[in-house]
Each structure stands twice: as C-alpha cells, then as structure tokens.
C-alpha cells in the first residue's frame, strides 16, 4: 500500500513536472517571482512567530512541530527584529503576499490557455498590474510610517 502510494506520488510528480515544463517561459518567470514573494513572506512570518514564542515563553512548544523549518529560518531572522513594530511587520508580510497575489493575477490574465481572457492584450494586463502594484506600494510606504 505504502509502496504503491509512493510510486503514485513519483508518477504524479513526474507528470506534474512534464506538464509544467510545457508552460511558456514568460509564465515561468512570473512563477519564479511568485515563489520568491511567497518565500519572503514565509520568512517574515516564521521570524515573527519565533519572536512571539520568545515573548510568551512557549519556545519549546513551537519548536516541537516544525523543527527543521524553524532552524532553517533562524539564520535569516537573526539579523531582523521581529514583529514588534507591528505596522512594519504587517506591511512587510502583506507587501510580499500582495505582490504574489498580483503576479498570480497577471499570470492568469496573460496565460494564453485561459480562454476567459482571450481578448485581453498582455500589454493591457501588464499596465493594470503596474497600476495595482503602484497603489499597493504607495499604501505600504504610507503604512510603514
């Protein structure tokens, strides 16, 4: 049972990979961008989580669960401060999440296979994307204080 499911999983990943390899390069670039943004957001979250845990003295409790992840991120968040100025933490995380979300939207719109957006020119989609990003980052700069 376990072997078959692991074989299934292997098959699945192979299928996923081959299917993904067929996507156009520009979409792949966007995907990388999204991944990067999500990764940054996760780092900030983990760092905030750790600081919170230290604050509340539940450090071991947190460390029980995602041990590897926490240790992995420790290197990164050493230099950073934590979630204390809550607005900067929030704007940091939300800017990453927002960037990722907007990039996903862009990806949806420029994807040629997506029939819903067939007559939306990629230039137009990109202009919208830039506008939205502009608003997002204006707000974030304002929110940072």
Q: Which stretch binds another protein (CB under 8 A): 54-62, 68-76, 77-85, 122-130?
A: 122-130
Q: Is 60 in the site for another protein (CB under 8 A)?
A: no
State both tokens at 90: 């929030």
State both tokens at 31: 């995907």
Question: Which residue, 72 or 86, is less far from another protein as judged by CB?
Answer: 86
User: Whole-number minimum distance, CB 32 to another protein, in Å?
Assistant: 16
- Answer for which of 45, 52, 80, 97 binds another protein (CB under 8 A) is 97
Identify whether the C-beta of residue 63 lies closer than 8 Å to the C-beta of residue 70: yes
DSSP state of 113: T
Q: Give dist(CA 45, CA 50) in Å, integer.
A: 9
- Quick one: which of 55, 123, 48, 46 has its CA closest to 86? 48
Contacts of 9 (CB under 8 A, 6+ apart): none
Question: Which residue, 79 or 118, is less far from another protein as judged by CB?
Answer: 118
Q: Is 125 in the site for another protein (CB under 8 A)?
A: yes
Q: Is 144 in the site for another protein (CB under 8 A)?
A: no
Residue carrying the six token digits 């098959």:
11
Q: Is 48 in the site for another protein (CB under 8 A)?
A: no
The burial of 47, by beta-carbon neighbours within 10 Å (0-12 exposed, 13-18 middle, 19 or more buried), is given as: buried
Q: Give the count of residues interacting with another protein (CB under 8 A).
A: 44
Q: Which stretch binds another protein (CB under 8 A): 54-62, 75-83, 86-94?
A: 86-94
User: Whole-number minimum distance, CB 65 to another protein, in Å?
Assistant: 9
User: Whole-number minimum distance, CB 45 to another protein, in Å?
Assistant: 13
């Amino acid at each position: 049972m376990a072997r078959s499911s692991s074989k299934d999983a292997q098959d699945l990943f192979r299928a996923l990979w081959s299917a993904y390899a067929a996507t156009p390069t520009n979409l792949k670039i966007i995907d990388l961008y999204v991944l990067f943004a999500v990764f940054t957001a996760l780092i900030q979250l983990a760092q905030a989580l750790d600081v919170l845990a230290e604050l509340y003295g539940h450090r071991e409790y947190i460390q029980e669960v995602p041990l590897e992840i926490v240790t992995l991120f420790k290197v990164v968040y050493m230099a950073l401060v934590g979630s204390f100025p809550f607005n900067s933490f929030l704007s940091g995380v939300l800017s990453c999440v927002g960037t990722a979300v907007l990039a996903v939207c862009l990806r949806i719109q420029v994807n040629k296979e997506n029939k819903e957006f067939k007559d939306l020119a990629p230039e137009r989609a990109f202009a919208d994307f830039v506008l939205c990003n502009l608003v997002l980052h204006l707000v974030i700069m304002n929110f940072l204080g």
